[in-house]
Amino acid sequence: MQQLLIGKVFIIAITLNIVVCFVNSWVFKQKFMIDSIDKKSWWQKNRGWVLGLLALISGFFITILVLLGKPIGDFTKAVVDPSVYRNAFEIVQEDQRVIALLGELKPIRVFELLEGEVRYTEKNKAIMTVGIKGSKQKGKLDIVANKSNNTWHYEMIRIRTKKPKKMIEVFGE
């Protein structure tokens, strides 16, 4: 009886082994034979995640352009037409209070525009804060001006410093 049971177990084990071999062989054929017959290009295999990644990157850049488009455009406008801050600088340069506070003023470079803020309204109004450097210390030059007939008319020109905290109204307000 025990021999019969051992025989049946042996036959079942061999049968299971044969079935597993056939299944493995079938899976192998499905996996490798189909790939060799119907090869997909790299693009066909990966286009889903590539397109998703491109959409994400494009969305990021579009968001940055929307958020920074106006400030970048205003900065560019100030670089192209520097007369608004250069004329204000000439006015400030003649003020003795400014010279006493900051010392001899150095010309405004484009990089000083980056230290401040530049805004233009649709009604030809410029509102600027520009970094300004003197021989004694540095400060900020605040400008509010309107443009009419290609000439800037200043509403306000102000110098501010942090240490010591002082403000000089050069023109207006």
Domain boundaries, the chain: 79-172
For the chain, 173 residues long, give each residue's pLDDT as a single digit of tens. Answer: 445 555 565 566 666 556 555 556 555 555 555 555 557 788 888 888 888 888 889 888 888 777 766 666 666 666 667 788 888 889 999 999 999 999 999 988 877 777 778 888 878 888 888 889 999 998 999 999 998 888 889 999 999 998 888 888 887 76
Residue type, 160: R
- Cβ neighbours of residue 169 closer than 8 Å, sequence gap 6 or more: 156, 157, 158
pTM of the model: 0.58
d(CA 37, CA 29): 11
Rounded to 5°, angle at Cα 27 from 22 and 33: 115
